[in-house]
Structure 1
Amino acid sequence: MNSMSPQTHVSFLPPSRQQDGQMQHTLRQPISSVGVGLHTGSRINLRLSPAPENTGITFRRTDTDLPALAARYDNVVDTRLSTVLGQPDRGGRIATVEHLMAALAGCGIDNAVVEVDGPEMPVFDGSSAEFVFLLECAGIAPQAAPRQHIHVDRTIRVEEGDAFVELSPGPQPGLAIDISIDFPAAAIGQQRYAARMEGELFRQTLSMARTFVLQPEIEYLHSVGLARGGSLDNAIVVNGASVLNPAGLRHPHEFVRHKMLDAMGDLYMAGGMISGQFRGHKSGHTLNNRLLRKLFASTENWHRAPLGATAPRPQTRAA
């Protein structure tokens, strides 16, 4: 982890006291919306619906006859620009699922059906805020089955150069995240943010943090037919020391907060809520997915149980 700097901010927040936090939740009723896909620029129809207990989060392309895809790390087929669900042998990809997954995790939704009529999720404003709005408009309903958390039993780490991600057992129930970033663009620089994110804390501190891009990268993305729907309305664009969005940033540390939001969405691809500590430096979707694959490679790394229902297993050596 880099040393503290003027661009660094650490805020350790207490856990929330969400009612019925031990039980599974779904939506009270279906809700629909329409948005633009970030890369295709196409109009995308989105529908979120309730699902029975122990279903998890599933995605379905309504413009194909392919079966629904579980929102799981082992169904991720691409992580270069976003987290992409798909079946390598059958197509039917759904890109940029991480912002919705973060909203579902932050709002405590265990079971839901997500339907879109195109190859990616609507980007909306580039954050999770509009997904949270939709979930709250639909209503959140408790279910009869207990929520089974994925408890991390020993430290798992993945590195690539000076970037790394790590999961380890936590001293408290729930998920704590500690993220640091380091960009050459002066408008971003070095930032760090650490928090235990649950319920209202997610809504207040992370959900409105938008995705960001460096201006030189935009030309390349356009040259390969991507980011056709990108604009200053759905992304922060940075050029050196300047933020090009007329309204500026929503928070001085919006960049690192969005990285934490991405991590929450990627970690929810575990197939349930993780209880443990996540640390990441210069991390992204690829390392986050590799971390989950390493976590589930051995049952010695984790166990599933209600939050706080059983004492954690003794920690063993790092994997």
Structure 2
Amino acid sequence: MKTGRQTTLGNDVAVSGVGVHSGLPVTLTLHPADADSGITFVRTGLEGRSDREIRADFRSVTATDFATVLGDSSGPLCSTAEHVLAALSGLGVDNAVVEIDGPEVPIMDGSAEPFVAAIDQVGIVSLAAPKSYIQILKPVRVAKGESLGELRPYGRGFRLEIDIEFDHPLIGKQSCALDLDPAAFRRELARARTFGFMRDVAKLWSAGYALGATFDNTLVVTENRVLNPDGVRFSDEFVRHKALDALGDLALAGLPLIGAYHSVRGGHKLNHAVLSALMADRSAWTVVEGVRRVRGHAELGSGLAAPTYGPDVS
């Protein structure tokens, strides 16, 4: 497992697109940030109101239906945060400001690759402060019906083990298991796109979701084929995207994890429930600098409680 110093971005960089659910145009700008500041989201362009700021933290999650929504007591700040979080986490960026001028992170092509390309434009630089991790000390599991999620100790860094099962001939059962580092993230996960079923379109539209979904940003599946002209990027792109989502959701731990995450028939709701359950159990984790403990787990876990878990809507 590599250790070392904290990182941030080499400069500002911006991307523009639409929100997959809202359908609204939005520009997202990534800014460098100081050591120990973590990932912060800043919402601008609020008519008649000042900018809003929120730390990317599991306690800031306000909804998990179809996407991960961050907010606070005054309401949602931004939706669909998981793909840009996955890009930052997958490339090892510890500190950054994510500025958006709309209610939802742009979906881009439905994957994390456009955010990876933006980060590559400005590069990643090291800071003077040492890098810290959350090390998992014992298994923490959340189960509901046929869905199961577990974080467990794993000494070689961070590992994802994702299993999905859909009653659909093009998907069925798929599994993805890999140890994460920037090279593996780029190669195995970054390009995997979000997906949806044509049979659900009318229901989603009537509920106010998927208003910005197109063949350019969503893998669209009918009962017997993929409608996108370019087809799939991986034979198992569906489970790879679920792994991408899990990486982004688990980035809300606030520090990189040393451990393994196993999910069966999961999604945003399960990812958040498992992470919240981990942080609520102060005997299950500690903060380490490399392999040396630097402070007690109680310092970051005080007063937290795991939420009630229900099955994912999507």
Q: TM-score, normalised by structure 2?
A: 0.90
Match status 1:86 vs 2:68 = no
Moved more, 35-44 or 61-70: 61-70
Q: Secondary structure at the match of 1:68?
A: strand
In the other structure, the counterpart of 1:242 is 225
CA contact (8 A) 1:33 1:47 kept: yes
Partner of 1:231: 214
In structure 2, distance between residues paired with 1:66 and 1:271: 22
Cα distance in 2, alignment partners of residues 235 and 200 from structure 1: 24
Q: For 2:173 and 2:146, locate their aligned partners in 1 and report how far apart those are by CA, in whole Å.
A: 14
The answer (yes or no) to whether the contact 1:26–1:111 under 8 Å persists in 2 is yes
Q: Are the counterparts in 1 of residues 286 and 293 from structure 2 also a CA contact under 8 Å?
A: no
Quick check: 1:174–1:307 contact (8 Å CA) kept in 2? no
CA RMSD of aligned residues (A): 1.6
Out of 257-266 and 64-73, give the one that drifted further. 64-73
| 1:74-129 Cα shifts (integer Å, max 9, x gaps) | 00000011000011x31242000000000001110000000101110000000000
What's the counterpart of residue 111 of structure 1? 95
Q: 2:58 aligns with which of 56, 62, 73?
A: 73
Identical aligned residues as a percent: 40
Q: Report how far residue 239 of structure 1 moved.
A: 1.2
Matched residue, 2:203: 220
Kindly indicate whether the alpha-carbon contact (under 8 Å) linking 1:167 and 1:277 is maintained by their aligned counterparts in 2: yes
Query: Does the CA-based 8 Å contact 1:73-1:270 persist in structure 2?
Result: yes
C-alpha deviations, 1:246-286, integer Å up to 9, x for none? 11100101111001000100010001101001100001000
Using the alignment, how far apart are the partners of 1:79 and 1:307 within structure 2? 32
Which of 31, 36, 46 is the matching residue for 1:49?
Answer: 31
Alignment of structure 1 residues 263-274 onto 2, 5 Å: 263-274=246-257
SS, match of residue 250 in structure 2: helix
- Equivalent position amino acid for 1:282 in 2: R
Provide the aligned length of Structure 1 versus Structure 2. 293
**1:121-169, CA deviations, whole angstroms, 9 ceiling, x for partnerless residues?**
0000000000000011111000111111000011000011011100011
1:157-172 mapped onto 2 (5 Å cutoff): 157-170=141-154, 172=155
Aligned pairs for 1:133-172 (under 5 A) are: 133-170=117-154, 172=155
State yes or no: 1:28 paired with 2:17.
Answer: no
| 2:187 aligned residue | 204
SS at match of 1:245: coil
- Find the residue that maps to 2:52 and give its secondary structure: coil
In the alignment, the residues of structure 1 paired with residue 115 and residue 235 of structure 2 have an alpha-carbon distance, to the nearest angstrom, of: 23
> Any runs of at least 4 consecutive aligned residues in structure 1 with deviations exceeding 3 A, and if so which?
none
Alignment of 1:98 with 2:69, yes or no, is no
CA distance, structure 1, for counterparts of residue 191 and residue 290 of structure 2:
27
Task: Kindly provide the amino acid, as one letter, of the partner of residue 190 in structure 2.
Answer: S
Query: After superposition, where does 1:271-286 map in structure 2 within 5 Å?
Result: 271-286=254-269
In the aligned structure 2, how far is the partner of 1:134 from the partner of 1:113? 14
Counterparts of 1:91 and 1:109, CA distance in 2: 27
Question: What TM-score, normalized to structure 1?
Answer: 0.89
Q: Give the whole-Å Cα distance in 2 for the aligned partners of 1:306 and 1:270.
A: 16
What SS class does the counterpart of residue 241 from structure 1 fall into? coil
What 5-or-longer segments of structure 2 have no aligned partner? 297-305, 307-314
- The question of whether the paired residues in 1 share the 8 Å contact of 2:152 and 2:261 is answered with yes
**What is the CA distance between 1:225 and its match in structure 2?**
2.4
Equivalent-residue separation in structure 2 for 1:193 and 1:292 (angstroms): 20
Q: SS state of the match for residue 137, structure 1?
A: helix
